[in-house]
Amino acid sequence: MKKTFFVAIAFCYYLLTACQKNTPLLAPAAASLYFPPVSGNTWETVSPTALGWNEAELNRLYTYLQQKNTKAFIILKDGKIAVERYFGRFTADSIWYWASAGKTITALLVGIAQKEGLLRISDRTSQYLGNGWTSLPLEKENLITIRHQLTMTTGLNDAVPDDDCTLRSCLQYAADAGTRWAYHNAPYTLLEKVVEAAARTDYNTYFQRTIRNQIGMTGLWIKVGFNNVYLSNARSMARFGLLLLNRGKWGSTPILDDDNYFNDMINSSQQLNPSYGYLTWLNGKSTHMLPTVRMVFNGALVPNAPADMYAALGKNDQKIYIVPSKNIVIVRMGESAGNVQLAASSFDSELWEQLNKVIR
């Protein structure tokens, strides 16, 4: 009797904690997900017919995707490939850029570095980049932490002529850290240097050891101007999405062995823009902000998508959607679908309007 009572109390506490943190109450168990082998091209499939999906609408979706300049499109259901389609000359072996969808890789990588004891996200950024990495007075610079870089709340001015520029002269004061949300590439990009300083190795090497090689991804971080851009094939993008669906574990193998960090990563990291976690976009929140726009918009980021969706989004409509309630991952690579944006675009809702006709 006592045991039953304490189990009930523990479960009630879990429910209360989950609600307070705004985390999903249910997450897919590794046992219910398929994970492809780390090496080779084997990947189990499941047919849309077996899933009861609308195949007539699926064919219309393919036409729509082609019209919208898509190069690769994958849907995983329970980890298995339900849809995999390439357009034009693009193939399963073709390489494409992730753009800002790669930011979510960095978020996971910082969490791994923290778990390994190499850094703490509460640390001042200057502990890794040195004093004077910005043009701010020292007392203002010292307010900026790694967590502010992860949440786009450094307070640095994104309205400079080149917001990708990581030079000291480009990193100017707009507000105290933590008081202003702005989608700003430069402070994000400098997380690469923070990780390198903490891990005492180059960024690609650390990423390959901790994530890429552990889950069978291909690809490489490439320096493009001030930016660090990830390039890979579409299945590597899908592998990373599956890792996110399983909350940082590849099967039963922990890649990020820190549930608290992962929870924080996929939940509102601040209230200035509740639709943003740690370099990860969140759906289903009451308001959202967008890159380059100093406005707060009412409603969810992607109204047509499931409320529990979180996403890695990049320029020209590079997409990884993760939907725990449906146990699905959706990947889209390609040129801009028509409305060029740095992350979320009108294409997200348009695409989900089509997907909702397919997925039952």
Domain limits, the chain: 30-92+217-358
- Those residues whose C-beta lies under 8 Å from the C-beta of residue 242, and which sit 6 or more positions away, are 33, 35, 76, 79, 215, 250, 329
Band of residue 197 on the pLDDT scale cut at 50, 70, 90: very high
In this prediction, residue 292 has a pLDDT band, given cuts at 50, 70 and 90, of confident
pLDDT of residue 294: 85
- Whether residue 51 has pLDDT greater than 80: yes
Q: Considering just the CA atoms, what is the radius of gyration of the chain in Å?
A: 20
Q: Which residues pair with 83 in a beta bridge?
A: 75
Percentage above 70 pLDDT, the chain:
91
Six token digits for residue 142: 């010292």
Identify whether the C-beta of residue 158 lies closer than 8 Å to the C-beta of residue 183: yes
Asked whether residue 277 carries a pLDDT value surpassing 60, the answer given is yes
pLDDT at residue number 27: 54
Q: What was the pLDDT predicted at 5?
A: 35
- The arithmetic mean of pLDDT across residues 241-248, rounded, is 98
Q: How many percent of the chain have pLDDT more than 90?
A: 88
What per-residue confidence (pLDDT) applies to 339?
Answer: 76
**What is the pLDDT averaged over residues 268-283?**
98
* pLDDT digit string, tens, across residues 25-49: 445 655 599 999 999 999 999 999 9
pLDDT at 189 over 50: yes
Read off the pLDDT band of 270 (50, 70, 90): very high
DSSP per-residue string spanning 10-42: HHHHHHHHHHHHT--S----GGGS----SSSS-
* pLDDT at 24 exceeding the cut of 90: no
Helix, strand, coil distribution of the chain in percent, nearest 5: 40, 15, 45
d(Cα 346, Cα 175) in Å, to the nearest integer?
A: 30
Which CA distances in Å does 110 have to 27, 84, 144, 145, 191?
22, 31, 16, 13, 8
Q: Indicate yes or no: pTM above 0.75.
A: yes
- For 248, left (φ over 0), alpha (ψ -120 to 50), or beta? left
Range name among 15-24, 79-88, 345-354 with the lowest pLDDT average: 15-24
Say yes or no to pLDDT of 15 above 90. no
HSE-CB of 33 using CA atoms within 13 angstroms = 27
The pLDDT of residue 155 = 98
The mean-pLDDT minimum among 18-22, 112-116, 138-142 falls in: 18-22
* Mean pLDDT within 56-85: 98
The answer to whether 160 touches 172, Cβ cutoff 8 Å, is yes
Average pLDDT value for the chain? 92
Per-residue pLDDT of 79-103, as tens digits, reads 999 999 999 999 999 999 999 999 9
**Residue 11 burial (CB count, 10 A):** 10
Between strands 328-334 and 249-250, the pairing is: unpaired
pLDDT in tens, 132-168: 999 999 999 999 999 999 999 999 999 999 999 999 9
Dist CA 167 CA 348 (whole Å): 33
Within 200-249, residue ranges assigned H as helices are: 203-207, 213-215, 234-245
Domain 30-92+217-358, CATH homologous superfamily name and number? DD-peptidase/beta-lactamase superfamily (3.40.710.10)
Lowest mean pLDDT among 7-16, 90-99, 245-254: 7-16
User: Is 226 a residue whose pLDDT tops 90?
Assistant: yes
Would you mind telling me the total number of residues written for the chain in this entry? 360
